[in-house]
Amino acid sequence: MIAQLLVPRHPVAEWTGWEERVRLMVRPRRYEHVLRVAELAAQIALANGLDDMRAYAAGILHDIARDLPDAELLRLAPPECDIDAGHPLALHGRAARVLLERWGYQDRVVLEAVEDHTTGPRGGNPVADCVYIADVSEPGRGVNADIRELALRDLNAALERAIVSKVTYLQGRGIQVHPRTLRSYHALPCVARQDQGGSASPLTARQP
């Protein structure tokens, strides 16, 4: 039944009309969030000389699986770790990619950005960076305006702040951090220097 709602008729480069398809998959308030993320991701991409159309497309698609039942998330994206098994919502990025691939979506840049928005970009995909930052800082959330503003000037610095802040927040409250997020965290230059015995600039801990 879900697959019948979204049947892409064109390659990913022609994504006009996906807004309506996504609207059928998510709750109204979620759809409003999706539109804000897409618009902000495109703004961030444009400000940094990146592909704003891909950033917008990934923003539109990023939460397509967010409102699916836990059982469906687990079926689409089998758990990789205890966090996935205990909190299936963590799977919605990976589940979204699976759905999109089944429906013929082929742009790997967009697919990776969709998958990684929940746990953090794996590196080498600036569109994924734009979507991740937009998701944690879009105005409707009411937080992380500093990250949003920084992203329009310095994408790498904003991504660094967003990931470090999230990990610091979770660890400070004794909440287990997803292994994928930890990999993204330890790949950051500031954290890599710290891991090697250097010093990293202090960043304010804040929940993205």
pLDDT in tens, 23-37: 999 999 999 999 999
Give me the residue label for tokens 């990619």. Answer: 97
Q: Give the integer Cα–Cα distance in Å for 163 and 165.
A: 5
Between the CA of residue 147 and those of 86, 125, 161, 177, what are the distances in Å?
30, 19, 7, 21
The predicted-structure confidence for 60-81, as pLDDT tens digits, reads as follows 999 999 999 999 999 999 999 9
**Where does the pLDDT of residue 197 fall: very low under 50, low under 70, confident under 90, or very high at 90 and above?**
low
* pLDDT recorded at residue 3: 38
Q: Which residues contact 6 (CB under 8 A, 6 or more apart)?
A: 21, 22, 24, 25, 64, 99, 103
Spatial CA neighbour of 57 closest among 93, 24, 16 = 16
Mind listing the domains of the chain with CATH numbers? Answer: 2-153 (1.10.3210.10)
* pLDDT recorded at residue 158: 98
The proportion of the chain whose per-residue pLDDT surpasses 90, expressed as a percent, equals: 78
Crossing angle for the helix pair 155-172 and 126-137, to the nearest 10 degrees: 50
* pLDDT recorded at residue 95: 98
The predicted-structure confidence for 158-176, as pLDDT tens digits, reads as follows 999 999 999 999 999 999 9
